[in-house]
């Protein structure tokens, strides 16, 4: 699995990530959502360099221009609910992509920090022979992503898989490298190295879904 960390060199990705992590800036929920969308747009542009294109002739008011247009059929899949603004950022760039949505959530075992991941809902077009992009802001253990990928495979076998996250951990990367196709490309805006007893990323940024949409009960 190829790992592309967009924070490996300082850029606006680094700046937006600093704001996402900042507990003071996080109080502005609108700015938090906006920064997630911005990062989705940047990641989609960077990912577009790896897609395939075909040469075309485009009529202008003054003649014919030789151009290149996207040749991949992209399916943009998102794990609900935290993935929605990241999905929107990607979709504003890959605007002809088809869309898929998967509901995955943790169910903790009684009196334990251990949990299982449940898949409750999937809405997806055929992904057969297409480029599959799965977005999820936080890759903590990788379990939700792996189960979402397995659920999506009920709709076909993609030609290539891209995984996009804001923060991934060493543990998630190692887990996904064993459970996703070996040629998968994982895009992330930063890599953290620790999980706490509840499998939350340290230092991370907190619960992305709550910061985006409010606390749940």
Interval 138-154 mean pLDDT: 93
State what percent of residues in the chain have pLDDT above 70. Answer: 94
Higher pLDDT, 109 or 160: 160
* Nearest CA among 93, 114, 111 for reference residue 195: 114
As a whole number of angstroms, the distance between CA 96 and CA 74 comes to 8
The per-residue pLDDT for range 202-214, each reduced to its tens digit, is 999 999 999 999 8
Checking if the pLDDT of 111 tops 80, the result is no
Q: pLDDT band for position 106 (50/70/90)?
A: low
Structure tokens at 116: 């299982």
Q: pLDDT band for position 108 (50/70/90)?
A: low
Q: Report pTM.
A: 0.90
Q: Which residues pair with 186 in a beta bridge?
A: 3, 163
The per-residue pLDDT for range 40-50, each reduced to its tens digit, is 999 999 999 99
As a whole number of angstroms, the distance between CA 77 and CA 156 comes to 13
Which domain covers residue 39, as residue numbers?
Answer: 2-213
Q: Which residues pair with 161 in a beta bridge?
A: 132
Q: Which residues contact residue 44 at a Cβ distance below 8 angstroms, ignoring those fewer than 6 apart?
A: 89, 90, 92, 93, 94
* Nearest CA among 160, 106, 108, 173 for reference residue 134: 160
Q: Please give the helix or strand (H or E) that residue 47 lies within, else none.
A: helix 29-48
As a whole number of angstroms, the distance between CA 165 and CA 187 comes to 6
* Nearest CA among 79, 18, 70, 14 for reference residue 47: 70
Structure tokens at 62: 């003054």
Count of domains in the chain?
1
- The total number of residues written for the chain in this structure: 217
Instruction: Supply the pLDDT for residue 80.
Output: 86
User: Does residue 134 sit in helix, strand or coil?
Assistant: strand
Checking if the pLDDT of 113 tops 70, the result is no
We report the CATH number of the domain holding residue 53 as: 3.40.50.2020
DSSP-derived letter for residue 109 is P
Instruction: Supply the pLDDT for residue 167.
Output: 98
């Amino acid at each position: 699995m190829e790992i592309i960390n967009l924070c490996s060199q300082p850029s606006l990705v680094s700046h937006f990530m600093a704001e996402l992590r900042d507990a003071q800036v996080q109080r502005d929920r609108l700015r938090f959502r906006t920064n997630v969308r911005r990062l989705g747009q940047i990641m989609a542009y960077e990912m577009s360099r790896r897609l395939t294109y075909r040469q075309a002739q485009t009529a202008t008011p003054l003649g014919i221009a030789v151009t290149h247009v996207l040749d991949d059929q992209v399916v943009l899949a998102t794990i609900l609910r935290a993935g929605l603004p990241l999905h929107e950022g990607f979709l504003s760039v890959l605007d002809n992509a088809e869309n898929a949505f998967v509901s995955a959530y943790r169910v903790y075992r009684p009196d334990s920090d251990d949990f299982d991941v449940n898949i409750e809902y999937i809405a997806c077009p055929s992904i057969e022979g297409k480029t599959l992009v799965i977005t999820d802001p936080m890759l903590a253990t990788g379990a939700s992503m792996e189960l979402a990928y397995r659920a999506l495979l009920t709709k076909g076998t993609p030609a290539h898989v891209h995984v996009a996250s804001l923060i991934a951990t060493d543990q998630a990367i190692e887990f996904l490298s064993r459970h996703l196709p070996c040629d998968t490309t994982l895009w992330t805006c930063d890599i953290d190295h620790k999980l706490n007893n509840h499998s939350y990323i340290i230092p991370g940024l907190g619960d992305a879904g709550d910061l985006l949409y409010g606390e749940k009960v």
